[in-house]
Amino acid sequence: MRKNFLLLSVLLTLVWSCSQNAEPLSEAELRAQLVAQAHGLEAFQEVSKIAFTWGVARAEGNFERRWIWNTQNDTVTRIMNGDSVSYNWKRLDSVSNEINKGFINDKYWLFAPLQLAWDKGSYTVSLEKEVESLGQGKLLDKLTITYGNEGGYTPGDAYDFYVDKDHVVREWVFRRGAAEEPSIVSICEDYITLNGLLMAQKHSRSGQENYLYLSDIIVE
């Protein structure tokens, strides 16, 4: 409870200190910021490099690709099937743009809670309290964000984040094109904290043996 109070106090102070003409944060917008804070938003400012392997565990054999992200100069390296490709993800050509789609996807799996802050202004948000989650049937608060119809690789998509009282994401749901039916239901498991970043290493799906994992994570 003390952790929740301190986080809430900091954000409320920031809101109060803004210009009187600024629009106050809604409860849903404030909760989105609290979720990002709980997963290490402030700590990320001190990070210079992220490395991780994104993989899918499946009966016919795992699929993996490794990423090394230099956050200081926006350089990204993908290592897959023994091949290594580096590019600047802020200056893309036709080839690197295709590779970058994979990076954006895999980075979202690792840092979905932080995207709530990074993508602020690109989505609308709503909040429902004590909703039964789709994956585990737990009573959690549901934070729904819907991206605008322009920009990004998948405009118009929606995500439902099921969060606990400590603002930790326990499940998240992807809905392509903001459809009512879920495209992906992800149960977040095996959380690890590295240099202040809280990250789920396993994303499973109810009733399925296949799962997605993030391994060999390095934070510098």
Which residues lie closer than 8 Å to 120 by C-beta, 6 or more apart? Answer: 32, 33
pLDDT of the residue at 209? 87
CATH number at residue 63: 2.50.20
Amino acid identity at 121: G
When pLDDT is cut at 50, 70 and 90, the band that residue 151 belongs to is low
CA distances from 118 to 6, 32, 84, 136, 155 (A): 22, 11, 27, 28, 16
Specify the pTM: 0.87
- Asked whether residue 3 carries a pLDDT value surpassing 80, the answer given is no
Rounded CA-CA distance 21/122 in Å is: 21
CB atoms within 10 A of CB 26: 12
- Asked whether residue 33 carries a pLDDT value surpassing 90, the answer given is yes
**Full domain range(s) for residue 127:** 2-219
Amino acid identity at 171: E
When pLDDT is cut at 50, 70 and 90, the band that residue 6 belongs to is very low
3-state secondary structure 147-203: ECCCCCCCCCCEEEEEECCCCCEEEEEEEHHHCCCCCEEEEEEEEEEECCEEEEEEE
Amino acid identity at 200: A
In the chain, the number of structural domains is 1
Rounded CA-CA distance 94/215 in Å is: 29
Can you say how many angstroms the Cα of residue 81 is from the centroid of all Cα atoms in its chain? 26
* % helix, strand, coil for the chain, step of 5: 25, 40, 30
* pLDDT tens digits, 159-190: 999 999 999 999 999 999 999 999 999 999 99
